Every structure is written in structure tokens, then in C-alpha cells.
Amino acid sequence: MIIDKLYETVQKKGMVCVGLDSSLDYIPNGIKNEYQDVDQIIFQFNKRIIDATGDIAAIYKPQIAFYEAYGLKGLKAYSRTLEYLRAEGHLSIGDIKRGDISSTAKMYGKGHFEGDFETDFITINPYMGFDSITPYLPYVESGKKGLFVLLRTSNPGARDIEYLESEGKKIYYHVGDKLAEMAQEFKGECGYSSLAAVVGGTHVDEAVEIRERYKDLYFLIPGYGAQGAKGEDVKLYLRDNNGGVVNSSRGIITAYKKHEDGLERFEHYTREAVLKMREDIGFEG
């Protein structure tokens, strides 16, 4: 199953997920000057990041909004990036956060698990109800695809809804409990399920309880670096340096901007950022 492949990759390479939030503002002028079209500029930026980190990053997560913002050419760069990741044998998460029901969700599944935007995992939003998840499950059942379902997110506004209480427990626990029940059907040999969860790393107070409560759920953990979570914080959501991948976007892809020679050594500082992140979280590879 796809979750076994991710688990094994984390064992070998560490838990870093590289977020490809590839805004033109983040891209070195050298790349912008070398290529004329937006799709070429963004793709070449992504390619250089992937080539610099492919042996030390577990998975890559392009956030589709950063590509949609540039129209058809942006989406071409998104598609080319996913195609390149497949060709190089790397895993990918399409960060699309779709949340709809019935035939609409079915078509989202077709759009992002097949064709031009095919990826290994996608992120989805369950807060319209669990019938917004079920149309994707045939892909998960095949063993070839996985879902990261929003459970408790890393943004401050998570408290507006996710932390409200109903029947004596927080809303995100209602989501997590149902998700954990559904996940039992899709467990891999590693003990985790391909029906996985997004758990923000910026809230540490309940980290131990969440990890203990959802033993079978694999986590995508955003919030490290620019959003404020530290290595010691996100490590609480892991188990033996596995059980989740920790995402960093700007902290990796704009690391070169912190150095005077960053433009000349873009790949070096990108790779260095991933290595430092792995060490900070505690990977011993």
C-alpha cells in the first residue's frame, strides 16, 4: 500500500516533507531571467529543489493555490512538477484541500488521482461531513493512493470551529474518532492507514493525547518553521521518528535568501535547510 511506501521512505530519508509553495516572489532572479514563460520558471525552480533534496526528503507537497494563481501556465507547472516527481521515483501530496460531496468529490478524485494532476496523496476537508470523504475511498482501497484528511490544523483560526465542544469533546476529536474508525479498512503492513490525517504542529498542549489516541493514523504535520513550531514540538506527533511527515515550505525553498551568496548557492542552502530540519526533529540517518 502507498502508506507502506511512505513509511519505508521516512525510515530511510527522514520525515521532511518539502512544501512547494512556489510563488514567483520566492524564485531567484537567475531562474526568472533564464526562462521566459511562467510555467518554465516555476517548474525549473521546483526541479532544482527536488534535485537538491531528493535523497534526504521523504515527500513533496505542491500547494495548488500557488499554481492556480498563475492561470493555465501555473497549472502546467503543477502538472509538470508532479510528472517529474513520479519519473524520479519521489512521493507527492497534492495539497488541494477539497471538501465537497457526491459526484463533485468523485470528480475531484478523478482529477487528482488520475490524468494531468495525478499525485500519490491529496489533502481533503471533511467539515461538510463524512460523505465528503467516501467518494475518494475506492482509490484508497486500491492501495495505490492515500488521503490526508484535515483533523486539527495549524492556523490560529483553528480554534474558531475545530475547538468547539459537542457532546463533551472537541469537534476535531469527533472528526478524528470517526476517521480512525474508517481507517481500519486501509491499514498497511507498517501498521498505519492510507486514510491519514493533517495535524498542525503549532499546538503542542494536546500533542501527546492526539498521538496516543490515534495510533493507526499517519500524520501530515504542518506548522514547522515559519509558522512557529519547533523540532521538539513536532516530534511529539511522531513515534520512533516515523508515523508522520513534517512539512516546511518557505523555510526550505527561500532559505537561500538568508545568505549573501544565496543566489549563487541556491541548491546548497536548500539542501542545508532540509538537513538542519531533519537534525532539529531528531532523525538519525
Taking the C-alpha atoms of residue 149 and residue 161, their distance in angstroms, rounded to an integer, is: 16
> How many alpha carbons fall within 13 Å on the CB side of residue 37?
10
3-class secondary structure, 135: helix
Q: How far is CA 147 from the centre of its chain?
A: 10
- Check residue 251 and give its pLDDT: 94
Please list the pLDDT of the chain residue by residue as tens digits (285 residues). Answer: 999 999 999 999 999 999 999 999 999 999 999 998 999 999 999 999 999 999 999 999 999 999 999 999 999 999 999 999 999 999 999 999 999 998 999 999 999 999 999 999 999 999 999 999 999 999 999 999 999 999 998 888 888 888 889 989 999 999 999 999 999 999 999 999 999 999 998 878 888 899 999 999 999 999 887 667 788 889 999 999 999 999 999 999 999 999 988 888 999 999 999 999 999 998 877
Q: Report which of 21, 5, 13, 41 is spatially closest to residue 249, judged by C-alpha positions.
A: 21
Under DSSP, is residue 199 helix (H, G, I), strand (E, B) or coil? strand
Catalytic residue, candidates 47, 97, 187, 276: 97
- Neighbouring residues of 194: CB distance < 8 A, sequence distance ≥ 6: 1, 2, 3, 140, 143, 145, 146, 147, 186, 188, 218
Which residues sit opposite 239 in a β-bridge? 242
- 3-state secondary structure at position 19: strand
Name which of 83, 82, 94, 92 is nearest 60 in CA terms: 92
Q: How many CB atoms lie within 10 A of CB 120?
A: 23
Q: What architecture is the 2-281 domain classified under in CATH?
A: Alpha-Beta Barrel (3.20)
Cα(185)–Cα(78) distance, integer angstroms: 31
Q: Are 249 and 21 spatial neighbours (Cβ–Cβ below 8 Å)?
A: yes
* CA distance to 13, 47, 60, 163, 201, per residue, from 278 (Å): 9, 21, 15, 30, 15
97 included as an active-site residue: yes
The single residue listed with the C-alpha cell 465537497 is 100
Domain boundaries, the chain: 2-281
pTM above 0.85, yes or no: yes
> How far is 272 from 253, CA to CA, in rounded Å?
11
Strand, coil or helix: 224 = strand
